[in-house]
A and B are shown apart, each in its own frame.
Chain A
Amino acid sequence: MEGPIKKIMVYIDGTEESITAGQYAICLSKSAGAELSALYVINTRALNELLRARIFIKSEQEEYKNDLEKDADRYLKHIKALADEKAINVNLIKASGNIIAEIKKSVKELDIDLLVIGELSRIQSRLDELHNEVERAMRSVSCSVLIVKDQERVETLYESLK
């Protein structure tokens, strides 16, 4: 019988938590024999909102967009290096736009059956609950979702992976 997980996608946003999620996804991919994808979304929606709110000026919006492009390349390259170290192939996806929409779109297009995300910030106010985009994506994607916790344990797990 085939295992239940064939296609895994990990969401990377540059936080330590998302890199830990990447390490866990690599371990899972190896043990389940599943295909692995890593997605980074350049949040152009937020950039546009900041311009509309006049917090950003046009040149600043462009500057930050370039910074985000570089971040995307850097973090995806890091995930590729982590996967290479464990002889796992990873499909790198760099998208732009609304985080929630892009996560949902990739899950659907790639027929992902497990989305892996990093530990979410503790909810400290009602606003956090309303506006945490990864949390909202987690609630609305069509596939199962795994939230990775315990960075130290995951690090050990990843290091011990042959």
Chain B
Amino acid sequence: MELVELINENIVKIPLAGNSKDDILKELITVLKDAGYIDDVEETYRDVRKREDKGSTGLENGIAIPHAKTSTVKDMTLALGIKPSGVDFESLDGKPSKVFFLLLAPPDQAGPHIEALSEIARLSRSRYFLETLSNAKNPKEAVELFKS
């Protein structure tokens, strides 16, 4: 499954309100709950936090890719959030993270999960894409970027 098939305006939040790693994770999970993709916010948070505790998913250049295998989703599910002012996500370069991709997959979908993470990794190598994405003013603008 291509990333572009996972993204729609309902799972994008701009700007994120949270000011800490936990706030951001909970906010993204709530986006998925509000969009009807998950029911159990707490269990999802526990699964995401469990992975995060093993090592931060905050990368370089302002991007973070929290991810987890969780039985709270039936299919692979993505939430995208942007915090233009950035937030400390314990990133590799120590800089604030601005673009957050939360990717959740059921435990039996390792293949598609890896493909989607690889696709995000490829996108994250493009500074131009990340800069344009982090300047998106609303979900519509962000979604359009993936289709261009």
Tell me if A128 counts as interface (CB < 8 A to partner B): yes
Total residues of chain B contacting the partner, CB 8 A:
31
Instruction: Please list 15 pairs of residues, one from A and one from B, whose beta carbons are closer than 8 Å in the complex, sorted by A's number.
Output: A14-B111, A15-B112, A46-B114, A53-B124, A55-B117, A60-B51, A64-B114, A67-B110, A68-B110, A124-B2, A124-B147, A125-B4, A125-B148, A131-B122, A132-B2
Complex contacts, A53 vs chain B, CB 8 Å: 59, 121, 124
Is there contact, CB below 8 Å, between B5 and A49? no
B117 in contact with A50 (CB, 8 Å): yes
Complex CA–CA separation, A121 to B112 (angstroms): 13
Chain B residues whose CB sits within 8 angstroms of the CB of A15 once the complex forms: 1, 112
Q: Do A64 and B118 form a contact, CB below 8 Å, given A53-B59, A59-B54?
A: no
Interface size class of A (residues with CB under 8 A): 20 to 34
Q: Across the interface, do A125 and B147 meet the contact criterion of CB distance under 8 Å?
A: yes
Name the A residues within 8 Å of B123 (CB-CB). Answer: 127
Assess whether B80 is interfacial by the CB under 8 Å rule.
Answer: no
Q: Output the nearest chain B residue to A13 by Cβ-Cβ distance.
A: B111
CB pair B65 A64 closer than 8 Å: no
Residues of A within 8 A of B124 (CB): 53
Docked pose: A43 CA to B112 CA in angstroms: 11
Contact bitstring B108-131, A, C-beta under 8 A = 1, else 0: 101111110111111110000000
A92-128 interface (Cβ within 8 A of B): 121, 124-128
Known: A54-B59, A57-B55. A43 touches B114 (CB 8 A): yes
| Contacts A14-B112, A59-B54 supplied; 8 other A-B pairs, CB < 8 Å | A49-B121, A50-B114, A50-B117, A55-B67, A121-B1, A125-B147, A127-B123, A132-B2
Given contacts A49-B121, A68-B110, whether A55 and B4 have CB atoms under 8 Å apart is no
Q: Are B54 and A68 in contact (CB under 8 A)?
A: no
A50 and B118 in contact, given A13-B111, A59-B54, A125-B148 (Cβ under 8 angstroms)? yes
Chain A residues positioned under 8 Å from B1 (CB to CB): 15, 121
Nearest residue, chain A, Cβ from B91: A54
